[in-house]
Structure 1
Amino acid sequence: MSPPAAAQVGALPAVFPAPVLLQLRGDPIALDKTVVLVTPADVAPETIALVREILTGAGVARITRRTSLPKRLDEPHILLGTTALPVVRAALARSGTTVDARPEGYTLISEHLGQGLVTLAGADADGIYHAVQTLRQLVRGGSIASVVVQDHPAMAIRGTIEGFYGAPWTMTDRLKHLDFLASVKANTMVYSPKDDPFARDHWRDPYPAARLADIGTLATRARQDHINFVYAISPGPTVCFSDPADQQTLERKFQALRSVGVHAFYVAFDDIEYKKWNCDRDQAAFGPSGAEAAGTAQAKLLNAVQAHLRAVDPKAPALIMVPTEYYDAKESPYKAALRKYLDPQIVVQWTGTDVVPPSISIGDARAAEKAFGRKTLLWDNFPVNDYATTKGRLLLAPYVRREAGLSGELAGILSNPMNQEVPSRVAVTGVAAFGWNDRDYDAARTWRYAARELAGGDDRTTQALLQFFDTQHLAPTFGSQPWQEQAPVLKAVLDRVRDALAAGDAAAREDALSALRIAADDFARAPDLIRAGVVDPGFVAQSRPWLDAMQLWGRALQLTAAGLEAANRQAPAATGDFAEAQALAAQAAALQTIKGATRFDGPIRIADGVLDRFIADAPGLLRTAAPAFKSGS
């Protein structure tokens, strides 16, 4: 079988997250209607199922199974297994490739042996699964790119924490998010919705059977997706640190969750009053309340819980905690107490140099390690939109301003996403890619990849999504200054128009106005392209008011462009076009967020400070060129 014409010439494929090593071996390998899977006993069923899904999607009609490689490859063969298996090691040796034995690492080789052999060799079961996620990206148009990939993650913990305030995700959201995390080679999801009463306000109460079963469903899906599902509890507002009954309540809670398949746990002490005891016996046990005493008390309780967890499940991951002082790396009595007393195996989370840091450097991480006495797990508050300055916004900018090399200074990285699960994937794709390979991370390419994944590979939908992302590029902080600017692509187009109109050159004005008209048409069409083209309907549902507002602003921009062209010709139609544009802009600015979807409801913001300002300024941009529109005309 010959490969499709478009695949005749080998080209280095794009793989995300960026692999440690990716080399082209030759032209693509054609997939016949029949492909043979060679799957020894140590390959998980979900991994085999994912390979079958990939091949079926590529047009393979018949997939057969073997447990060993034949001497003659008269059909394309795909071999999966760990590097401990002789058949896998022999295949790697025949290709002259070394083994990547790091945790979660894998080696993938696709080569022209007979009708084609693709070897996916994992250091462990997770590594095989990650190799299949790479295979998914290598299969295009009925062929597989001929490459060598050697790969492993830079950070041991990579993923998300559902840790925002406001409406929690639905079960559907969480299940889809687990599948998404698997697709970007993340390995951790922390369940910590602030509005789950059984995890915070009523943490002592057992879960109702149905709620507990739901969490068990998430744990099962997480195992299938090779994701470590972590349950977080927040007892801080009411816990009595020295009371054995509260410690036993925590242990019982975790045992109930263990019964439905959860094996990783987390205790959060964020956003609490820690300089006042919740019970008199803590005063007797730890002395007067205060920051240092709080650190000592928290460490004592966590150490006891960690010891219990290890006693009942020696293979369980280390307990994770988020401290009350999670938002900086400054030395303090509280941090000193944690550093002194907290079991060194317990993982400490930290949000950077602020609650929403504009940047994170290697030096920042080293300061945090010194303050807490261990490498910290970064809780990155991006793209979460549950604080006041995010009102009316989706946060869809690329993941930037985190320094390459942080993998050497952190225990891992978790993103705190938005209340809107599917739109959150834009930024989380970047977080996962950075956590996998921070030294080769390319923010712009990864941002475009996230758009292509949402678009199912369709070019027009991808471009429409990137236009939409640009309108939501602003990344706020808790202060007045954002750490990413709003709508940089659109602003460049509009600034060019302003400059051309100000320069007074007729040809330059006409060129700029023609480009504006085209850009306005693309902008106005983008929402319909997105609604029709994105592969997950959740994106459209969760972004609905922003898409509606973008369409109105697009029509306003079209009318503004028409008004400027008319003004450039000194035609009277300009006045009506500008007036109608202003009316549409006012209508767009009045659209509201979905009530209750986020912590703060409010008016939708679309390229604010850029698009609205241009439309408002437009009638005055050509006053000199068109005397008919001077004041008092």
Structure 2
Amino acid sequence: MTVELGIIEGYYGRPWSWAVRAETVSFLAPYGYGFYLYAPKADPFLRRRWQEDHPRDMADGLAALAAHCRGAGVRFGVGLSPYEIYRDFNADAKEALARKLAFFDALGVDDLAILFDDMEGSQPDLAEAQVAVVDWAASRTRASRIVMCPSYYTDDPVLDRLFGRRPEGYLRKLGELLDPAIGIFWTGEEVCSREYSPGHLARVGEELRRKPFLWDNYPVNDGPRMSPFLHLRAFTGRPASIAPWIAAHGVNPALQPVLTRIPALTLAESYRLGADYQYGKAFETAASAVLGADFAARLRRDLILLQDVGLDQLGESAAHLRGKYGAIDHPAAHEIVAWLDGAWRITEDVMRAQ
């Protein structure tokens, strides 16, 4: 069964350049990545300052990326996080939202995502209030697909600790009240799920009254705990048997755009091969496609250091790795060197600012 794959640029930290975004679209499209959702936490005009217009240079960059996606046959979307708009969806909020939707329409967005993650969510009528916002936006956008992210987008209790206890029956109410044509993002049993199973996805689909739209938080490596590690290994825990239970599969990429292509290719391979998928072999094939055979072989030997040991525990190995990858003239090698130099480190202050 074919699964719609895509990139959800939804990480904290240093944003990709417009050129890198376009290159990522072009590279992954032949492997079945059919949508690109622009929703970086670093874009304040989609988040805390969402009521303000994007500056001209950013608007031009978005327009160019939308055009590039159309030329590549890839759906282009934008994720808007209208900060706690559901607490007081008044006339001013509606006016600002209408203006933002008109801007997205002018870009020619195919997908509109309304995102309520990372917001206070303990109010009793949360589902009803959020559905009212999504329905209002749905009636005023020309996007052909709409997806919303709930405030509680996983079973993981960490969200209850951070944003307040989830209201009783929240997911079921969303499923009952939200137009069946509108998708709902889901990250799984955890914020960063180790695996997805047909049983779990069937249960969530029954609650939501629709197949969940996966927001897969691998290989993303933002945040203080994850940014000291490079997530390079092939996908595991995403068997092809989950395909009938999901609406689509979006990947939140790593901070390193070229390196992220390696695991991204393995996910496509997992769905293609089904029960014949071998994650070790898939890594070798994908790494060779992205890096070339020699570079891929070197990277394979260093996987434990880069993905398991991590930046803070490398010790003397850091200098050795820097010398090795500093001698390679390849964008992925440049990303490894920058990571070794701390350029990709994400702190709590960075996350709070975004």
TM-score, normalising length: structure 1: 0.49
**1:432-472 CA deviation, whole Å, 9 max, x = no partner?**
3335564554322221122112233xx33221121133433
Query: Helix, strand or coil for the counterpart of 1:405?
Result: helix
Query: Helix, strand or coil for the counterpart of 1:389?
Result: coil
The code of the aligned residue for 2:79 comes to A
The code of the aligned residue for 1:454 comes to V
2:138 to 277, 300, 306: 306
1:397 and 1:475 in contact (8 A); partners too: no
Cα distance in 1, alignment partners of residues 227 and 55 from structure 2:
34
Cα distance in 2, alignment partners of residues 239 and 423 from structure 1:
38
Note closer, same or farther for the CA distance 1:389–1:525 as it changes in structure 2 (3 Å cut).
Answer: closer
Note closer, same or farther for the CA distance 1:224–1:446 as it changes in structure 2 (3 Å cut).
Answer: farther
Query: Helix, strand or coil for the counterpart of 1:400?
Result: coil
Task: Tell me what 1:205 maps to.
Answer: 52
Cα distance in 2, alignment partners of residues 251 and 432 from structure 1:
37
The code of the aligned residue for 2:93 comes to D
Note closer, same or farther for the CA distance 1:434–1:332 as it changes in structure 2 (3 Å cut).
Answer: farther
1:230 and 1:265 in contact (8 A); partners too: yes
2:217 to 367, 378, 381: 381
Task: Tell me what 2:230 maps to.
Answer: 394
1:527: Cα distance to partner? 6.7
Task: Tell me what 2:40 maps to.
Answer: 193
Query: Helix, strand or coil for the counterpart of 2:308?
Result: coil
Cα distance in 2, alignment partners of residues 453 and 240 from structure 1:
48
Cα distance in 2, alignment partners of residues 370 and 350 from structure 1:
13
The code of the aligned residue for 2:301 comes to Q
- Asked if 1:255 corresponds to 2:91, the answer is no
Task: Tell me what 2:152 maps to.
Answer: 325
Note closer, same or farther for the CA distance 1:239–1:165 as it changes in structure 2 (3 Å cut).
Answer: same
CA RMSD of aligned residues (A): 2.9
Matched residue pairs, number?
334
Task: Tell me what 1:593 maps to.
Answer: 342
Task: Tell me what 1:181 maps to.
Answer: 28
Gaps of 5+ in 1: 1-152, 276-288, 477-485, 487-522, 549-591, 602-633
The code of the aligned residue for 1:358 comes to R
- Kindly name which structure, 1 or 2, has the bigger radius of gyration based on alpha carbons: 1
1:266 and 1:320 in contact (8 A); partners too: yes
1:260: Cα distance to partner? 2.7
1:402: Cα distance to partner? 1.8
1:187 and 1:228 in contact (8 A); partners too: yes
**1:233-285 CA deviation, whole Å, 9 max, x = no partner?**
0013345453244234223212212213323211100011022xxxxxxxxxx
Cα distance in 1, alignment partners of residues 199 and 266 from structure 2:
22
Query: Helix, strand or coil for the counterpart of 1:474?
Result: helix
Cα distance in 1, alignment partners of residues 156 and 135 from structure 2:
22
Cα distance in 1, alignment partners of residues 309 and 187 from structure 2:
16
Larger relative contact order (Cα-Cα within 8 Å, sequence gap ≥ 6): 2
The code of the aligned residue for 1:159 comes to G
Note closer, same or farther for the CA distance 1:455–1:224 as it changes in structure 2 (3 Å cut).
Answer: same
Gaps of 5+ in 2: 158-166, 349-354
1:327: Cα distance to partner? 1.3
Task: Tell me what 1:154 maps to.
Answer: 2
2:189 to 320, 340, 353: 353
Cα distance in 2, alignment partners of residues 217 and 375 from structure 1:
32
TM-score, normalising length: structure 2: 0.85
2:78 and 2:109 in contact (8 A); partners too: yes
1:385 and 1:418 in contact (8 A); partners too: yes
**1:189-245 CA deviation, whole Å, 9 max, x = no partner?**
110111211000111111122211110010111112221111110013345453244
Equivalence map 1:133-282=2 (5 Å): 154-155=2-3, 157-240=4-87, 242-275=89-122
Cα distance in 2, alignment partners of residues 398 and 362 from structure 1:
20
**1:575-632 CA deviation, whole Å, 9 max, x = no partner?**
xxxxxxxxxxxxxxxxx522xx33139xxxxxxxxxxxxxxxxxxxxxxxxxxxxxxx
Cα distance in 2, alignment partners of residues 531 and 251 from structure 1:
49
Cα distance in 1, alignment partners of residues 79 and 273 from structure 2:
27
2:239 and 2:270 in contact (8 A); partners too: no
- Asked if 1:541 corresponds to 2:320, the answer is no
The code of the aligned residue for 1:187 comes to G
1:325: Cα distance to partner? 0.7
Query: Helix, strand or coil for the counterpart of 2:145?
Result: coil
**1:401-447 CA deviation, whole Å, 9 max, x = no partner?**
12331101000111111221112112222233335564554322221
Task: Tell me what 2:294 maps to.
Answer: 460
2:87 and 2:129 in contact (8 A); partners too: no
